[in-house]
Amino acid sequence: MRRGEIWLYNADPTVGDEISKTRPCIIVNNDDIGTLRLKVIVPITGWNEVFVQVPWMIRIETTAENNLSKLSTADTFQIRSVSQQRLIKKVGIVAEEIMQEISNALAIVLNIK
Query: What is the helix, strand, coil percentage profile of the chain, to 5?
Result: 20, 35, 40
DSSP state of 8: E
Q: What is the pLDDT of residue 50?
A: 95
Q: What is the pLDDT of residue 14?
A: 78
Tens digits of per-residue pLDDT, 14-34?
788 777 789 999 999 999 987
Tens digits of per-residue pLDDT, 44-81?
999 999 999 999 999 999 999 999 999 999 999 999 99
| Structural domain count of the chain | 1
In DSSP terms, which residues pair with 72 in a beta bridge? 46, 60
Domain boundaries, position 38: 5-109
